[in-house]
Amino acid sequence: MPVFAPISHDEFVAAVHALKDALADDGWTPDFIIGVGRGGLAPAVYLSHATGLPMLSVDYSSQVKDFADAPLVKLAARTRDGEQLLFLDDINDSGRTITHIRTALAAAGAVADNVRIATLIENVSSAERVDYTARTIDRRVTKDWFVFPWEAVAPDQSIADDAAAVPDRIA
């Protein structure tokens, strides 16, 4: 049984402010914050409010191509027009989602310098790196299953099932 590590609303809001501050310190201002569904949607809404920047979304978690790949093609075109995009997800764990986003954007001709990625939590042993993060972990050491505030309303069994789907991250 995994160790569930609830993230409080206050911790979540602090993480959003840390991302806002990191963007300000870097001097890079995206034209849009792109929430990556499902886990990046709530953080993107909060970061949009914290920064005053508009938000869009893509849905990768559903694995429905029309809701992930088609919008990425449109977003890639926006980068060619000079727009800067910040993709936001809850956690960079294995790197699979970020790899998919970067690969799809590159295939659609996105300007790489106009795309950055942020997460609330960054796993240093992930296959991918992000540009901004509020917290860093190492999955080789930290095996907790993080339960974000928007996930806390799910039935316990649903959370356990999500954790069990990726046993290598929690074992």
Residue that the structure tokens 């996930």 belong to: 151
pLDDT digits (tens, 9 = 90+) for 71-83: 999 999 999 999 9
Nearest alpha-carbon partner for 90 in 161, 41, 158, 163: 41
Q: How far apart, in Å, are the Cα atoms of 117 and each of 5, 84, 140?
A: 24, 11, 22
pLDDT at 1 over 70: no
Q: What is the pLDDT of residue 4?
A: 92
pLDDT-based confidence at residue 68 (cuts at 50, 70, 90): confident
pLDDT for position 171: 64
**Which residue's structure tokens are 């914290």?**
50
Dist CA 159 CA 5 (whole Å): 11
What Cα–Cα distance (Å) separates residue 63 from each residue in 29, 96, 100, 137, 144?
A: 29, 12, 11, 26, 25
- Predicted structure pTM score: 0.95
- Range 4-161 has CATH code 3.90.1170.50: no
